[in-house]
Structure 1
Amino acid sequence: MRKLFKIVFILCVSVVLVQCGKDKYTVAKGKVGQITTKTTIKDLDKIFANDSVVKILSEGAKGNFYFQDDDVYEVYEKGGKHLLTIIPKEQLDSTSTIKSIEIFDNRFKTETGLNIFSTFNEVDANNVISNIETSPFSATIFIDDLNATISIDKEELGLRDINMKKVSKEQIPDLAKMKSFIVWFE
């Protein structure tokens, strides 16, 4: 009986640890790991207590209004690996919630496995693409079901010249790699 209890206890603890590990890196609409739409900037130090949060603060209202930068919170794992870049909705306000999170680590992924190393084929097969916008150097793909944007460098599209020609979904090669993966909380 005691041996059976130990086995059941070990199984329960294992399941809890696996679920916690998954949740730490889950990406969904309004959620990146342990960060949700209700998370404030002051919560970041607690959430990433075992990591390093680098705070790059703007000048706020004292700075040049037309060129005012966003506050930036970069999260690095011990050892220096860049995990996330977090932008708050309000600058210089520790009670502000999150505006956006750029993902740099492939452990952060959706239920379908979408992560920063995914190809366009994986993005297209598992998500609803609502729009594609073009900039001089990249194409930005809007994914409504995640409230996310993915940028693909124009070189991945086979386009070498700098232009603003519209890029269609059909023009993007299946194996095109992401340049950035941003989840929006607005």
Structure 2
Amino acid sequence: MKKINNQLLYISLVILFLTSCTNHSKYVIEKGKVGDITTETTIKDLNQIFAKDSIVSTLSEGALGDDYFQDDDKYKIYEKGGKHLLTIVPKEQLDSTSTIKSVEIHDSRFHTKNNINLNSNFSDINAYSKLRVESTLQSVTLFLDDINATIAIDKEELGLRDFSTQNVSLEQIPDLARIKSFVVWFD
């Protein structure tokens, strides 16, 4: 009887371990990979990858439209309950066989191997060795070459005025500055 209980306990622990590992990889960000999305993933694959979630697509007019400033197609992924997980942009508009151009992260469960996520601050991000900075009108963009991603930090976090083109160096960014957006690029 004791042997059966030990075997059941062992089997339960193995199942728990395997389940937690697969769930964990669902949220890992690496170069060319966000969860189950890779550089080989096509738009038509999204329905299978996110079968338990909802996909809301906003399609552009493509080359046929008369809008000079054409928007990209966007596929917003929501989990059951309505939480926005990701926004996916394809390389080619109006093409279900297109691969992915970028993935914008909207859920803090997605994280890098260094545990960088939407709740991270600049001191966490600064652990990357290859970190470049570029200033825009409203934010500062950090380039994480290790994973081919960009992180935007609002200039208000730096105590700077909006709509200024003032250059910002890494030393000027406070350690507690928070992330405004996190985008992984697949090129």
Q: TM-score, normalization: structure 1?
A: 0.95
For the residue of structure 1 that corresponds to 2:92, the secondary structure is: coil
2:82 corresponds to: 80
1:164 corresponds to: 165
For the residue of structure 1 that corresponds to 2:126, the secondary structure is: helix
Q: Please give the residue correspondences for 1:35-74 in structure 2 after superposition, counting only pairs within 5 Å.
A: 35-64=37-66, 66-74=68-76
Letter in 1 for 2:82: G
Counterpart contact for 1:129–1:141, Cα < 8 Å: no
Deviation, 1:15, is: 1.1
Looking at structure 2, the residues matched to 18 and 45 of structure 1 have their Cα atoms a distance apart, in angstroms, of 23
2:105 corresponds to: 103
Tell whether 2:130 aligns with 1:133.
no
1:117 corresponds to: 119
Deviation, 1:167, is: 0.6
Letter in 1 for 2:80: K
Looking at structure 2, the residues matched to 64 and 99 of structure 1 have their Cα atoms a distance apart, in angstroms, of 23
1:22 corresponds to: 24
Looking at structure 2, the residues matched to 182 and 160 of structure 1 have their Cα atoms a distance apart, in angstroms, of 24
For the residue of structure 1 that corresponds to 2:88, the secondary structure is: strand
Letter in 2 for 1:104: H
| Unpaired runs of at least 5, structure 2 | none
Letter in 1 for 2:19: L
Deviation, 1:176, is: 0.2
Counterpart contact for 1:24–1:33, Cα < 8 Å: yes
Q: TM-score, normalization: structure 2?
A: 0.95
For the residue of structure 1 that corresponds to 2:25, the secondary structure is: helix
Deviation, 1:49, is: 1.1
Deviation, 1:96, is: 0.7
For the residue of structure 2 that corresponds to 1:93, the secondary structure is: coil
Counterpart contact for 1:148–1:184, Cα < 8 Å: yes
| Unpaired runs of at least 5, structure 1 | none
2:181 corresponds to: 180
Identity %: 57
Residues 54-110 of structure 1 deviation map (CA, whole Å, 9 limit, x = unaligned): 000011110137412110000111121111000001111111111000001000011
Deviation, 1:168, is: 0.3
For the residue of structure 1 that corresponds to 2:103, the secondary structure is: strand
Following TM superposition, where does structure 1 have runs of at least 4 consecutive aligned residues deviating by more than 6 angstroms? none
1:142 corresponds to: 143
Letter in 2 for 1:15: F
Deviation, 1:136, is: 0.7
Residues 107-138 of structure 1 deviation map (CA, whole Å, 9 limit, x = unaligned): 0011211001100000002x134421111100
